[in-house]
C-alpha cells in the first residue's frame, strides 16, 4: 500500500502543469488484437485507467502474442505538437518497449528512441486487482489472498532531440524480454522531459476527510448495509452461511448496537436476502428466485410491515449473472441497476429503467461509456437529488482494486453523466471497497471494505456540501 501511495504522491509534481500532454485518441494500425470490448486495441486510447494501481485490467490492450512475441501499434493524436517524451504505460510486466518512432505529418515514421543494452524500465509493485467472483458480494464469502504482480511501470522515452508537429507514434514491443502476461494501458506524448504520470481523479475535499471507522458487527460478515429512512435501524446481510440473511442494528447513545437477526418476513428467500431501498412508502428487497422470460428480476416491494406488495418487473429483462445490484428513487419512478447483458461495455454496467403506468418498468438502458468501462461497475446508490450517484468500479484509475466513485447526472436523459470522481484515499484503500450507502440526515457514508484480509463495515463523516453539487 505504501508503494502505491508514494507513487500517487509523485504524480502531483508541480512541474507537470507546465507540460503539454496528449493521450492517443485513435488507432491507425496494429499487429494483433484479441477483439471484443475487453482488452481490445481501443482500450489503449485515452488517459490511463489501469494506473497508478497497475495489474491486469480489461481496460488495457492485450495483443495475441503478449506472452513472448513481437507486437506493435501506431496511434494518432488530436493535435500536432512538439514531442520530447513518449510515455508507454505497461500495467503488466513493464520493460518490453524496444523501439519508438514518430510521424510529423509526412506520413513516414522516424525512429527517435531504441532500448539500449542492459537498460531496465523503472517499475513498482502492485497488488492484483480483485477477481469479481471473489469480491462481488452475495456471490462469494471468502476473501482471496491476492498474489503480487511484479513490475507494472511506465516507459518514459526521452528523445535526444525534440520533434515538432508530431501527429502519430509507433511503438514496438518484444514481449519475450520478460516472462508473464503483458498489457498496455495508454500512450502519451509531452513537450517536456518531466515524466508523464497517471493520477487518480479525486478532489481535495475528499482527501481532507477524517479517518474511516470500523463498525463492530460481531460474528456477522457484513454485506449490503442500509440505514432505514427514520435512521433508527442499520440493516445488513450476513454472508457467513449458505443462506444469506438480514440482520439489523439499532441506535444506542449515538452508536450502533451489535446486529441481531431480523424478522423471518425479511428472510423468506432460499439463498439471498438483502435490502436496496427503505422508504416510508416501500422497501425494495433482493434475492428472490424468479422465472426467466417473465420480466421478473428477483426484487420485490414490501410495505413497512415487511408484507409483499408486488414484484419488480422489467420489460425484456435478461441477466448473465445470478446477482445484480440496484437503487431506486423514493417515488419509484426511476430504477438504476448494475447488471451484465449483451449491451454492456465489459462486465457489469449501470443501466436505468423508468416505471410505466402499469407499475412495471421499461427496457433497461445503458447509462453511457463515461461511467461504464470495459471492467465492472456495480453497487449504485442514488441520492435524493436524483443527480448524485455513488457506485463501485475497478475500471478507472484508483488506489487499489475496486474503489467507490461519485458521478453527476448532466441532463434529463439519464444517459449523460460526469467523469467519475474517486472518493479519495480516506475511503478507498489499496484493497477493496464496495456497496456504498449515504445517510443524508447524518451526512455519513457507510461502505464495505477489506481491511487486513477481513471484510468489515466502515463509516466516515462526509459533508453533503462536498458530495452533492448545487
pLDDT tens digits, the chain, 470 residues: what are they? 334 433 443 343 344 457 899 999 999 999 999 888 899 999 999 999 999 999 889 999 999 999 999 999 999 999 999 999 999 999 999 999 999 999 999 999 999 999 998 888 888 776 554 444 444 444 443 444 444 567 899 999 999 999 999 999 999 999 999 988 899 999 999 999 999 999 999 999 999 999 999 999 999 999 999 999 999 999 999 988 889 999 999 998 889 999 999 999 999 999 999 999 999 999 999 999 998 889 999 999 999 999 999 999 999 999 887 789 999 999 999 999 999 888 788 889 999 999 999 999 999 999 999 999 999 999 999 999 999 999 999 999 999 889 999 999 999 999 999 999 999 999 999 889 999 999 999 999 999 999 888 899 999 999 999 999 86
pLDDT for res 144: 44
SS3 category, 178 = coil
pLDDT for res 133: 45
User: How far apart (Å, rounded) are the C-alpha atoms in residues 72 and 97?
Assistant: 9
Give the count of beta carbons closer than 10 Å to the beta carbon of residue 64: 12
Beta carbons within 8 Å of 194's beta carbon, 6+ residues apart: 13, 15, 16, 18, 19, 85
pLDDT for res 136: 43
User: How far apart (Å, rounded) are the C-alpha atoms in residues 141 and 244?
Assistant: 10
User: How far apart (Å, rounded) are the C-alpha atoms in residues 298 and 23?
Assistant: 43
User: How far apart (Å, rounded) are the C-alpha atoms in residues 336 and 371?
Assistant: 13
Query: What is the 8-class DSSP label of residue 355?
Result: B
User: How far apart (Å, rounded) are the C-alpha atoms in residues 310 and 302?
Assistant: 7
pLDDT for res 15: 43
pLDDT for res 148: 54
pLDDT for res 149: 60
325 in Cβ contact with 223 (< 8 Å): no
User: How far apart (Å, rounded) are the C-alpha atoms in residues 290 and 195?
Assistant: 54
Query: What is the 8-class DSSP label of residue 42?
Result: G
* Cell reading at 312: 419488480
Give the count of beta carbons closer than 10 Å to the beta carbon of residue 437: 24
* Cell reading at 80: 500536432
pLDDT for res 9: 38
456 in Cβ contact with 217 (< 8 Å): yes
For cell 504520470, name the residue.
Answer: 197
Beta carbons within 8 Å of 288's beta carbon, 6+ residues apart: 268, 269, 298, 299, 300, 311
52 in Cβ contact with 8 (< 8 Å): yes
Measured between alpha carbons, how far is residue 233 from residues 15, 220, 248, 252 in Å?
A: 50, 16, 6, 10
For cell 468500479, name the residue.
Answer: 393
pLDDT for res 170: 98
* Cell reading at 434: 464496495
SS3 category, 51 = coil
Amino acid at each position: 500500500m505504501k508503494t502505491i501511495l508514494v507513487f500517487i504522491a509523485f504524480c502531483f509534481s508541480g512541474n507537470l502543469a507546465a507540460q503539454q500532454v496528449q493521450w492517443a485518441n485513435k488507432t491507425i494500425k496494429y499487429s494483433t488484437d484479441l477483439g471484443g470490448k475487453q482488452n481490445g486495441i481501443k482500450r489503449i486510447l485515452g488517459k490511463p485507467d489501469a494506473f497508478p494501481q497497475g495489474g491486469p485490467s480489461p481496460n488495457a490492450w492485450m495483443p495475441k502474442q503478449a506472452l513472448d512475441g513481437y507486437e506493435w501499434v501506431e496511434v494518432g493524436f488530436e493535435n500536432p505538437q512538439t514531442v520530447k517524451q513518449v510515455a508507454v504505460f505497461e500495467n503488466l510486466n513493464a520493460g518490453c518497449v524496444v523501439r519508438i518512432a514518430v510521424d510529423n505529418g509526412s506520413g513516414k515514421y522516424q525512429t527517435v528512441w531504441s532500448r539500449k543494452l542492459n537498460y531496465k524500465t523503472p517499475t513498482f509493485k502492485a497488488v492484483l486487482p480483485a477477481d469479481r467472483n471473489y469480491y462481488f458480494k452475495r456471490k462469494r464469502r471468502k476473501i482471496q489472498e491476492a498474489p503480487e504482480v511484479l513490475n507494472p511501470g511506465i516507459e518514459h522515452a526521452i528523445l535526444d532531440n525534440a520533434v515538432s508537429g508530431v501527429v502519430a507514434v509507433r511503438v514496438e514491443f518484444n514481449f519475450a524480454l520478460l516472462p508473464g502476461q503483458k498489457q498496455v494501458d495508454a500512450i502519451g506524448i509531452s513537450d517536456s522531459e518531466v515524466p508523464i504520470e497517471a493520477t487518480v481523479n479525486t478532489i481535495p475535499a475528499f482527501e481532507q476527510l477524517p479517518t474511516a471507522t470500523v463498525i463492530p458487527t460481531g460474528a456477522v460478515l457484513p454485506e449490503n448495509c442500509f440505514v432505514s429512512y427514520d435512521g433508527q435501524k442499520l440493516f445488513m446481510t450476513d454472508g457467513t452461511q449458505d443462506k444469506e440473511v438480514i440482520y439489523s442494528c439499532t441506535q444506542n447513545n449515538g452508536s450502533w448496537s451489535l446486529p441481531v437477526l431480523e424478522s423471518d418476513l425479511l428472510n423468506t428467500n432460499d439463498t439471498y436476502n438483502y435490502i436496496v431501498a427503505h422508504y416510508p412508502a416501500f422497501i425494495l428487497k433482493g434475492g428472490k428466485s424468479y422465472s426467466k422470460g417473465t420480466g421478473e428480476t428477483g426484487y420485490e416491494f414490501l410495505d413497512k410491515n415487511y408484507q409483499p406488495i408486488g414484484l419488480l418487473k422489467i420489460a425484456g429483462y435478461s441477466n448473465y449473472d445470478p446477482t445484480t445490484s440496484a437503487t431506486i428513487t423514493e417515488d419509484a419512478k426511476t430504477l438504476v441497476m448494475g447488471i451484465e447483458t449483451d449491451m454492456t461495455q465489459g462486465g457489469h454496467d449501470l443501466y436505468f429503467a423508468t416505471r410505466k403506468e402499469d407499475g412495471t418498468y421499461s427496457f433497461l438502458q445503458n447509462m453511457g461509456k463515461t461511467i461504464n468501462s470495459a471492467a465492472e461497475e456495480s453497487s449504485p446508490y442514488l441520492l435524493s437529488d436524483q443527480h448524485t450517484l455513488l457506485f463501485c468500479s475497478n475500471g478507472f484509475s484508483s488506489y487499489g482494486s475496486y474503489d467507490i466513485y461519485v458521478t453527476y447526472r448532466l441532463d434529463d436523459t439519464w444517459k449523460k453523466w460526469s467523469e467519475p470522481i474517486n472518493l479519495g484515499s480516506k475511503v478507498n484503500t489499496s484493497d477493496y471497497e464496495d456497496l456504498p450507502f449515504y445517510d443524508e440526515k447524518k451526512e455519513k457514508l457507510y461502505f464495505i471494505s477489506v481491511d487486513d484480509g477481513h471484510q468489515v463495515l466502515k463509516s466516515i463523516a462526509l459533508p453533503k456540501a462536498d458530495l452533492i453539487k448545487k
